[in-house]
Amino acid sequence: MLKRFFLSRKTVITLILLMLGAILLGYSFPQRFLTPPPELDTWQLANPTLAKLSRGLALDHVYTSPWFAVLLALFLVSLCFSTWEQFRIALRKSREGISEGESFETPISAAELAAGLRSLGYLKLGGRDGADRFVRHPWGYWGNFLLHLGIVVSIASSLLILLCEKRAVIDLLEGEVHQPGAEWIKEERGLLAGKLILPEAVRLDRVVPEYYDNDNMRQLTTDFSFVDAAGRATPFSMHINKSVRHKGMRIFQGKSHGRAFFVKFTGRDGQEHGEVFSLDQPVDRNTASYKDFVLTWLPSELKTKYYGDAERRSLDGNNPLFVMRLMEDGKVAAELPLKVGETGRLGDYSAQLVKVERWGGLIFIDTTGMAGIFLGFFIVCLGGSLSYFCPPRECSLSPAGSGCRLVWRATRFERLYRDEFDELRSLARLPATTDEQKA
């Protein structure tokens, strides 16, 4: 009953359409893991009803929502039944003899015709009731099964990842240490996964960006170390497309990096405030990178920007220009451009750019099932190739009078393989069917 339900065409098509609908929902609603928080807030403020719906139905994280996991699981069950069915069909087709198809009789002996069949790529696969069975591309029987199996493996693996994956991102300054259990700037967890806790502390040693002359990025390299409880450091180096493995965890180069500006503010009352402003790397030497900050001790909003090089000679110079703007009622109340070591006045404060350091992002992933995804995909590709490139062509040879009788059929796309039947006829020294029709 259950099997019949999951194998029914209506169920299969409904599940495929529901999956398609879920993907479209994920595309239409801003997803938390894809959208920056301020952008998400803006969207929620602009669309209060949709935002309510989104929160209520977890449409802001479709792919990690429980209902999507249930849908995926149902889809998987249906596919498992289909795969089993396809396995049985493939096995039956591989074993059973050919009962119908086009045929001809020829005075040529079965042995001679069999040799001709072998020369055309037909393999002898047993026989029944005195007839020998030949098949060209017998592995093609398994195409559909493999296609289904591959999807099962992929979905099962992605379900495993969905449930168990731990993924976290940190941005660190050069020399800064992230202790095990400390907060991440961004974390994604599978439905059954706990918090990602590093086995050891991690320290960012160096960030090395390289650029082409036109300011496009050439490479981004990060040197970092895992530091154990005794203070022993194990150094690693990674760059984009070269990750690192350590104690069951994979570490990837983060996408973001930039400069951190250490500024010392001194008020008229002599009170000092030290602040670090981390900004993303600008996209080119003539474009600034911007970021706004709210400081608890500063009544005004602070807007900042920086250029990679004060003289705009490169994107990543030794002399970056950092600019701060105090905003009051949407207007610029004060502005201060600073280079390293310079001091100036910003409103009621004296500000000094003490030093500039680099910061970089690291991505930590603890996951199982990734190999299953790729294996599944590979099986899908293999199944698709066998299904559409190698449809089996079956032939049976049985003695008839002093010669033999040949029955032939293509299991799929028969219309496209008519020529092969004619080829067999010519092997038996008979005219092609088309010639026969003409005659």
Partner 1 sequence: MESSFSTITIVHWVAVVIYVLATIFNVAGLIFRKERATGISYLLVGAGLLVHGIGILWWWKIVGHGPYIGRFEVLSSQAWMGLFLFMVFAHFLPKIRSASILVFPAAFLMIAIGIFFEPQVKMLPPTLRSVWLVLHVTFYKISVCTLLVALAFSIFYILRKRTSLEWLARLPDMETMDTLAFRFAGFSFTFWAIAMLAGSIWAYESWGRFWGWDPIETWSLITWVAFGIYLHLRRFFGLKGEAAAYLYILCFLLSVLSLFFTPLIGSSVHSEYFK
Q: How far is the CB of 354 from partner 1 (least distance, A)?
A: 32
Beta carbon nearer to partner 1, 40 or 217: 217
Beta carbon nearer to partner 1, 267 or 384: 384
Beta carbon nearer to partner 1, 5 or 389: 389
Beta carbon nearer to partner 1, 279 or 365: 365
Q: How far is the CB of 139 from partner 1 (least distance, A)?
A: 15
CB neighbours (10 Å) of residue 220?
Answer: 21
Q: How far is the CB of 377 from partner 1 (least distance, A)?
A: 4
Q: How far is the CB of 213 from partner 1 (least distance, A)?
A: 9
Beta carbon nearer to partner 1, 164 or 354: 164
Distance in angstroms (rounded) separating the CA atoms of residues 186 and 251: 15
Calculate the alpha carbon distances from 229 to 196, 200, 236, 341 in Å: 18, 7, 18, 36
Q: How far is the CB of 295 from partner 1 (least distance, A)?
A: 30
Count of residues in the chain = 439
Beta carbon nearer to partner 1, 184 or 377: 377
Distance in angstroms (rounded) separating the CA atoms of residues 432 and 106: 13
Phi, psi of 426 (to 5 degrees): -70, -30
Q: How far is the CB of 311 from partner 1 (least distance, A)?
A: 23
Encoded amino acid at 432, one letter: A
* CB neighbour list of residue 421: distance below 8 Å, 6 or more residues apart: 102, 408, 433
Four-point Cα dihedral 416, 420, 423, 425, nearest 10: -100
CB neighbours (10 Å) of residue 265?
Answer: 20
Structure tokens at 323: 């600019």
Beta carbon nearer to partner 1, 31 or 47: 31
* CB neighbour list of residue 365: distance below 8 Å, 6 or more residues apart: 165, 166, 167, 249, 250, 251, 252
Beta carbon nearer to partner 1, 351 or 386: 386
Which residues are near partner 1 by CB under 8 A?
9, 12-13, 16, 19-20, 23-24, 26-27, 31, 33-34, 63, 144, 158, 167, 212, 214, 216-220, 239-241, 243, 250, 252, 255, 363, 365, 370, 373-374, 377-378, 380-381, 384-385, 387-389, 413, 415-416
Q: How far is the CB of 150 from partner 1 (least distance, A)?
A: 9
Strand pairing partners for 405? 105, 398
Strand pairing partners for 274? 264
Q: How far is the CB of 144 from partner 1 (least distance, A)?
A: 8
Are 153 and 371 within 8 A, CB to CB? no
Distance in angstroms (rounded) separating the CA atoms of residues 361 and 405: 73
